[in-house]
């Protein structure tokens, strides 16, 4: 048996329940992992609320780290006793242990702690596909990154700096802006006190940026399009302020033949080999010190409802984990 956080109906943080669940043995292509720490992400809140509907009852949580306890037939990249970490479907990481598909579970280097492993996989692999698998980026390019002091944001600031890419961030307070700059942002705009769109134009001499990386969604979408240079790419990869509303595709032509994409991590990591390659690049960034994983909030399994409230109120910086 393993303590596991589930929902039986969609709703607010009060819908989260801590129960005992039987773990079982792994079948073909599966592993059983005893968790050491679990990651917390906005997608967990979307699934809990019903923005991303699921069949219920359902355990939550998309990333964790731990020790491999058992391996099913056909699994060759992991062995019993291996340190491991993952961002993967189906949900179920808010637990002491689970059985799950092995394909997206990655062997965790000794140089990276379990807490770092739990905090970095979903957001770090997101940064990897943003910078390497979505649109060509090279040293000297300029990226506008919203929520630059958040979990993905602080990784993205460091990632951009490590590759010579200029990152202009936005955040909601002077303290968060300072944190983004400390982690490698060229500059960070406080959108609560500044006109961030006008500031972006000023910082780019009126040319706009090459790429916008936007996890905020509805509130920033139109301004993000207006911040792009002609032929620029808008990467909308989250809905923190709500889903982007329908819009006329002709606007993209009017604003300079812009490109828009709405990627998800799980489409990028669906292939086992690709997932392992992406993870290897992430592990190199972290093990080399180019990207440091900052964990600013820790909660227990019993405190998951409060963790969700804190995340949704945007009172977090860096990474948030559940400790076991």
Task: For the chain, give the mean pLDDT.
Answer: 96
Range 236-242 average pLDDT: 85
What band does 242 get if pLDDT is binned at 50, 70 and 90? Answer: confident
- Asked if the model's pLDDT at residue 192 lies above 90, the reply is yes
Query: Class assignment of domain 135-262?
Result: alpha beta
CATH of 2-122+266-323 given 1.20.58.1610, 3.90.1150.10, 3.30.420.60, 3.90.180.10: 3.90.180.10
- Asked if the model's pLDDT at residue 210 lies above 90, the reply is yes
- Asked if the model's pLDDT at residue 245 lies above 90, the reply is no
Range 25-50 average pLDDT: 96
What band does 73 get if pLDDT is binned at 50, 70 and 90? Answer: very high
Element (H, E) at 145: strand 142-145
Identify whether the C-beta of residue 82 lies closer than 8 Å to the C-beta of residue 101. no
- Asked if the model's pLDDT at residue 240 lies above 80, the reply is no
> By three-state DSSP, how is residue 225 classified?
helix
User: Comparing 98-112, 169-183, 233-247, which segment has the lowest mean pLDDT?
Assistant: 233-247
Q: Where, residue-wise, is CATH 3.90.180.10 in the chain? A: 2-122+266-323
Output the pLDDT for position 53. 92
> By three-state DSSP, how is residue 13 classified?
helix
Q: Where, residue-wise, is CATH 3.40.50.720 in the chain? A: 135-262
What band does 241 get if pLDDT is binned at 50, 70 and 90? Answer: confident
Block residue for tokens 């961002």:
87
DSSP H helices in the chain? 42-49, 114-132, 151-162, 174-182, 196-203, 221-226, 250-254, 265-268, 272-287, 304-312
Identify whether the C-beta of residue 228 lies closer than 8 Å to the C-beta of residue 213. no
Range 159-185 average pLDDT: 97
| Of the candidates 221, 223, 178, 222, the residue with the CA atom closest to the CA atom of residue 317 | 178
Identify whether the C-beta of residue 278 lies closer than 8 Å to the C-beta of residue 128. yes
């Amino acid at each position: 048996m393993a303590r596991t956080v589930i929902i039986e109906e969609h709703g607010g943080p009060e819908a989260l329940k801590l129960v005992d669940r039987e773990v079982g043995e792994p079948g073909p292509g599966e592993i059983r992992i005893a968790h050491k720490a679990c990651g917390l992400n906005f997608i967990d809140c979307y699934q809990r609320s019903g923005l991303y509907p699921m069949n219920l009852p359902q355990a939550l949580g998309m990333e964790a780290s731990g020790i491999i306890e058992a391996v099913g037939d056909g699994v060759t990249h992991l062995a019993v006793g291996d340190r491991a970490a993952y961002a993967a479907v189906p949900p179920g990481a808010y637990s002491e242990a689970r059985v799950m598909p092995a394909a997206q579970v990655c062997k965790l280097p000794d140089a990276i702690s379990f807490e770092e492993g739990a905090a970095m996989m979903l957001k770090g692999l997101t940064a990897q596909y943003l910078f390497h698998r979505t649109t060509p980026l090279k040293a000297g390019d300029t990226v506008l990154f919203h929520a630059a002091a958040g979990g993905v944001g602080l990784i993205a600031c460091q990632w951009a700096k490590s590759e010579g890419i200029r990152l202009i961030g936005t955040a909601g307070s002077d303290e968060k802006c300072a944190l983004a700059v400390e982690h490698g942002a060229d500059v960070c705009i406080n959108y609560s006190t500044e006109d961030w769109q006008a500031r972006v134009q000023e910082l780019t001499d009126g040319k706009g940026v090459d790429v916008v990386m936007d996890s905020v969604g509805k509130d920033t979408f139109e301004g993000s399009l207006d911040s792009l240079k002609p032929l620029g790419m808008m990467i909308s990869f989250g809905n923190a302020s709500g889903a982007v509303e329908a819009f006329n595709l002709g606007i993209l032509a009017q604003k300079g033949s812009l490109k828009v994409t709405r990627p998800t991590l799980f489409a990028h990591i669906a292939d086992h080999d690709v997932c392992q390659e992406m993870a290897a690049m992430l592990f190199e960034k972290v093990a080399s010190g180019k990207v440091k994983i900052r964990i600013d909030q820790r909660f227990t399994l019993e405190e998951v409802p409060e963790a969700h409230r804190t995340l949704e109120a945007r009172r977090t910086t860096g990474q948030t984990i559940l400790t076991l």
